[in-house]
Homo-oligomer: A and B are copies of this chain.
Amino acid sequence: MTTPEPKPVFTVDLEPTGRRARVPAGTSLLDAARAAGVDIVASCSGLGVCGTCALRVVSGMVTPLNSAEQDALSTAEIDQGLRLACQTAVLGDVRVDIPASSLVRGQRLQIEGWQVEATLQPAVEIVEIACPPPNLQDLRADIARVNDVLAAQGKPALQADASQLDDLSALLRREGWQARLACFSGGRLAAALPAGSAVLGAAMDLGTTKLAIYLLDLTTGGTLAAVGVMNPQIAYGEDVISRISYANRGREQRRQLQTLLVGAVNQAVQSECARLGLDPAQIVEYVAVGNTAIHHLFCGLEVEQLGRAPYVALADHALDFRAAELGLVGSPGARVYLPPNIAGYVGADHFSALAASQEHLAQSPALLVDIGTNTEISLHVDGLWYSCSCASGPAFEGAHIQDGMRAAPGAIEKVEFTGDVLRLHTIGGQPPVGICGSGVLHAVAELLDHERIDNRGVFTPRLPGGFQLAAAEQSGHGRAIVLTRKDINEIQLAKAAIRGGIRTLCQRAGIPETAIRSFVVAGAFGTHLDLASAVRIGMFPPLPLEAFHQVGNAAGVGARLMLTSQSVRQAAERLAWMSNYIELTVAPEFTGFYENSIYFPRD
């Protein structure tokens, strides 16, 4: 038995970017550059005909000049040692020099197949420095050496804590007077790392239940890790109202909720860094989005005023704190950026979702709805924005439903009548143990279609014990799974709140609901939602199905985009600033719309 010999791996140093790739023998220089996050122009996509990927091999062994290169390059260029990156393969450690004309200006980034593109432009600028060491003829202070190098590159002098200057001096003296610096605008030092170190950022969608945490390489914009963990605050209340009550008991309790949340983030970040062989001290910035209550608790801000009328936030503008103040791991100069929220219940996560969905929302009229215990809705009409938040309750998360459960294995997610025969689809195809939010929605739509309930939500014929979805002997736990009249009523109240909010926004904007051209459904529940069922039960207006866009965790995507792109950050801040917030509890038209939405539409 023989196993194929593993290919030798070589390093490719890409000047003048200072980046390095480690690739197997035979890799093209174009692919090596891409692996290192260096974007080389290659108009013909590597066919060797356009000549736009020309670069110079400074040293090291590569494949010889081929005929495609002889055709694409002039004799003068060949004499200067130019090669086509797409046609030249690595046969040893190589150093190349990429002419400015072959480098893509303003690198582009794309996150997980999303259509949203934004120029890679994180909040930090990354600078490699090398200083001459001191001697009796050159008595400049350590930091003066650094500032002089920065000034020569037209960059401002460093602004830093005393401990950061102390660490930088030690680093320079240890590492031969070289370092990689990451600086925020104005020269504020984010991190001083050994030359060539990766510079990291973390984006976070802080949900009431779940935390989505992404680790990104800020030099390439690539996502290195994505993890979801439970929000440990859940021990102090399933919803934000209970957590606000707990925090109101005193400063100690509020502090405890902050510590729990920050601790969970730190643990996730540290374990991902360890897995990737990275140091959390390489993290220079966090972007965190979440609803206003979680946002305030994360920052250690008072939440008491969020829990009582008139429900105002302590701060609703974009915030920028020292990560260390909140207790987050990272470089000593790391910061945390929190996009704006508006009013008590339209949070930064909503603006993050809006920022991530700009393409769909550029049309007019366009609407984005993010369904949760609180459902946030924004409507765009001709450059004007309207937002509201409705108390839709936890029914869609399976709570307050007799046999409700989260979307976990064994949850009924779909219910189909074939004649009188009921077919159940469960997550993972396992025997049913309960029904999740999208399953309830689907079941109600199906029961309506098959006239097992009327438009008031009453079973026809009446079923005092409820509608049995699965008998005890079919289920995974030996108990029958039943949909009750009360369950249906919970769904009615929830969907009426959402539809009432949509109608109120349309009324304020002066458009009929049916004018909406693009209807974006964001959030985890929205992703698994059966759109036809949502329209059938009257939760969403009767739009053609192609008007709907299910965009998944847009808040998490938005957070990553804001981490890697200053322009997305500015877009979110602009959106928040422009948005007209409508407080439904004092909107006179809302009550009527809500009441009119409780019954199901007659088909």
Q: Report A's interface with B, CB cutoff 8 A.
A: 134-137, 139-144, 147, 157, 159, 161-163, 165-166, 169-170, 173, 299-302, 305, 309-317, 319-322, 325-326, 343-344, 581, 583, 585-586
| A162 and B316 form a contact (CB under 8 A) | no
Min CB–CB distance A164 → chain B (angstroms): 10
Contacts of A166 in B (CB 8 A): 300-302, 314
**25 sampled A-B residue pairs with Cβ under 8 A:** A134-B305, A135-B310, A136-B309, A136-B310, A137-B586, A139-B312, A139-B344, A139-B581, A139-B583, A140-B312, A141-B313, A141-B314, A141-B317, A142-B312, A142-B313, A143-B315, A143-B316, A143-B317, A144-B315, A161-B322, A161-B325, A162-B299, A162-B301, A165-B314, A166-B314
Min CB–CB distance A146 → chain B (angstroms): 10
Q: How many copies of this chain sit in the oligomeric assembly?
A: 2
The answer for the CA separation of A143 and B341 in the assembled complex, in Å, is 12
Contacts of A162 in B (CB 8 A): 299-301, 319, 321, 325-326
Q: Which of B136, B165, B173 contacts A586 (CB 8 A)?
A: B136
The answer for the CA separation of A314 and B343 in the assembled complex, in Å, is 48
The answer for the CA separation of A137 and B581 in the assembled complex, in Å, is 11
Known: A142-B305, A316-B140. A300 touches B343 (CB 8 A): no
The answer for the CA separation of A139 and B310 in the assembled complex, in Å, is 7
Min CB–CB distance A226 → chain B (angstroms): 26
Contacts of A325 in B (CB 8 A): 161-163
Contacts of A326 in B (CB 8 A): 162
Q: Which of B159, B161, B583 contacts A136 (CB 8 A)?
A: B583
Which residue of chain B has the shortest Cβ distance to A137 in the bound complex? B586
Contacts of A319 in B (CB 8 A): 162, 165
The answer for the CA separation of A325 and B144 in the assembled complex, in Å, is 22
The CB with the most chain B CB atoms within 10 A, among A141, A169, A313, A320, is that of A141
Contacts of A316 in B (CB 8 A): 140-141, 143-144
| B170 and A321 form a contact (CB under 8 A) | no
| B314 and A157 form a contact (CB under 8 A) | no
Min CB–CB distance A165 → chain B (angstroms): 5
Contacts of A317 in B (CB 8 A): 141, 143-144, 147, 157
Which 7 A-B pairs give the minimum distances between C-beta atoms? A141-B316, A141-B313, A143-B315, A162-B299, A134-B312, A136-B310, A169-B314
Contacts of A137 in B (CB 8 A): 586
Min CB–CB distance A312 → chain B (angstroms): 5
Min CB–CB distance A313 → chain B (angstroms): 4
| B302 and A169 form a contact (CB under 8 A) | yes
Min CB–CB distance A82 → chain B (angstroms): 44
| A302 and B170 form a contact (CB under 8 A) | yes
Which residue of chain B has the shortest Cβ distance to A300 in the bound complex? B162
Min CB–CB distance A343 → chain B (angstroms): 5
Which residue of chain B has the shortest Cβ distance to A321 in the bound complex? B162
The answer for the CA separation of A57 and B98 in the assembled complex, in Å, is 78
Min CB–CB distance A140 → chain B (angstroms): 7
Contacts of A157 in B (CB 8 A): 317
| A161 and B321 form a contact (CB under 8 A) | yes
The answer for the CA separation of A300 and B302 in the assembled complex, in Å, is 34
| A163 and B300 form a contact (CB under 8 A) | yes
| B140 and A310 form a contact (CB under 8 A) | no
Contacts of A300 in B (CB 8 A): 162-163, 166
Min CB–CB distance A456 → chain B (angstroms): 33
The CB with the most chain B CB atoms within 10 A, among A161, A315, A326, is that of A315
Which residue of chain B has the shortest Cβ distance to A341 in the bound complex? B141
The answer for the CA separation of A316 and B343 in the assembled complex, in Å, is 47
Contacts of A585 in B (CB 8 A): 136
The answer for the CA separation of A299 and B320 in the assembled complex, in Å, is 25
Min CB–CB distance A131 → chain B (angstroms): 12
Contacts of A159 in B (CB 8 A): 320
